[in-house]
């Protein structure tokens, strides 16, 4: 059984990409077969894994989805890149922006990504989708494909307020397109544990959503080292294996694995 998790928040800069890559590599370290899908036109996930020129790649998610829209055959391994830390990547780039616009006129436009995932899912235990910081058509495609959604939230007041819209959209997709969709949990990121502020945000989250949505026990601490890794093309496990961020992602991986049992 393959579990598909979309990592989403319509606000940027909350640690979506870092969470996707480190959770993915964390799962691979636990001997899981993992595919990461970069569904963000900025191509940040692709670049952060060391493929530094996403826009020059010949085959990306936009190519594959474009082929599906035109009813062309796709090979399961087509366009997939391999990363030295044991994960596979379906890269994304700026072409996704153009695809988003053209999807509006496509039949079954919400399920194009799902058709792709059906082709590759039997090769993997986990597929993680790094979503755009918007609730546009590509993100809806990710929600329509996913079993669950993991929501990274920066430990600050405003991003927490913005969750309402995201949770509403998830509910709508669940009712209309993908009845099996659940929220995996809310993950607090960029937490400065030395301040009471982070504790206040955490209790605010629990008060507002804790009865309906799981809030992960593990939080991701703020760290300069975590910010450095995107320039190096490696995960936090390689960059700073003994650090607190690697430890936090390791614990998060175990929490996610426990759900899949």
Tens digits of residue pLDDT in 190-213: 888 777 777 788 888 888 888 888
Q: How many CA atoms are closer than 13 Å to the CA of 80, on its beta-carbon side?
A: 22
pTM of the model as a whole: 0.94
Query: Given this model, what pLDDT does residue 196 score?
Result: 78
Position 158 scores a pLDDT of: 65
Q: What is the mean pLDDT of residues 98-113?
A: 89
User: What is the reported pLDDT for 15?
Assistant: 87
Rg of the chain taking only CA atoms, in angstroms: 17
Q: Identify which of 98, 69, 85 has the alpha carbon closest to the alpha carbon of residue 34.
A: 85
Q: What is the mean pLDDT of residues 73-95?
A: 95
Parallel/antiparallel/unpaired status of strands 88-90 and 3-7:
unpaired
Which pLDDT score is estimated for 159?
Answer: 64
pLDDT classification of 130: cutoffs 50, 70, 90: very high
Q: Is residue 112 predicted with pLDDT exceeding 80?
A: yes
Q: Mean pLDDT, to the nearest integer, of 91-118?
A: 92
pLDDT category at 227 given cuts 50, 70, 90 is low
Residue 260 pLDDT > 70, yes or no?
no
Dihedral angle over CA of 230, 233, 238, 239, nearest 10: -40
CB contact at 8 A, 166 and 9: yes
Q: Is 190 left (phi over 0), alpha (psi -120 to 50) or beta?
A: left
Is residue 41 pLDDT above 70, yes or no? Answer: yes
Domains of the chain as residue ranges with CATH = 3-260 (3.40.50.300)
**In sequence order, what are the beta bridge partners of 130?**
7, 38
Average of per-residue pLDDT values in the chain: 90
**What is the distance between the alpha carbons of residues 145 and 117, in angstroms, rounded to a whole number?**
7
Is the per-residue pLDDT at 61 higher than 90?
yes
Mean pLDDT over 9-25 rounds to 90
% of the chain surpassing 70 pLDDT: 95
Banded model confidence at residue 94, pLDDT cuts 50, 70, 90 = very high
User: Is a pLDDT exceeding 80 seen at residue 183?
Assistant: yes
Helix (H) or strand (E) holding 184: strand 182-189
Q: How confident is the model over 105-130, as a mean pLDDT?
A: 94
The closest alpha carbon to 253, from 200, 216, 211, belongs to 216
Q: Looking at residues 250-260, what average pLDDT do you find?
A: 89
């Amino acid at each position: 059984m393959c579990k598909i998790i979309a990592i989403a928040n319509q606000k940027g800069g909350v640690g979506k990409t870092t969470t996707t890559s480190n959770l993915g590599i964390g799962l691979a370290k636990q001997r899981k077969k993992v595919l990461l899908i970069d569904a963000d036109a900025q191509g940040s996930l692709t670049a952060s894994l060391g493929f530094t020129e996403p826009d020059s790649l010949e085959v990306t998610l936009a190519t594959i989805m474009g082929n599906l829209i035109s009813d062309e055959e796709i090979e399961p391994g087509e366009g997939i890149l391999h990363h030295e830390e044991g994960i596979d990547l379906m890269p994304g780039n700026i072409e996704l922006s153009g695809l988003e616009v053209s999807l509006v006129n496509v039949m079954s436009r919400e399920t194009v990504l799902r058709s792709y995932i059906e082709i590759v899912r039997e090769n993997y235990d986990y597929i993680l989708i790094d979503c755009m910081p918007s609730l546009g058509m590509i993100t809806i495609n990710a929600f329509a494909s996913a079993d669950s959604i993991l929501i990274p939230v920066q430990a600050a007041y405003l991003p927490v307020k913005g969750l309402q819209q995201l949770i509403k959209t998830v509910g709508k997709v669940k009712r209309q397109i993908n009845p099996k969709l659940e929220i995996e949990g809310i993950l607090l990121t960029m937490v400065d544990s030395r301040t009471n502020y982070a504790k206040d945000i955490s209790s605010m989250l629990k008060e507002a959503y804790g009865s309906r949505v799981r809030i992960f026990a593990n939080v991701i601490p703020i760290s300069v080292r975590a910010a450095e890794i995107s320039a190096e093309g490696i995960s936090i496990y390689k960059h700073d294996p003994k650090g607190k961020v690697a430890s936090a992602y390791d614990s998060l991986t175990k929490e996610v694995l426990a759900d899949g049992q």
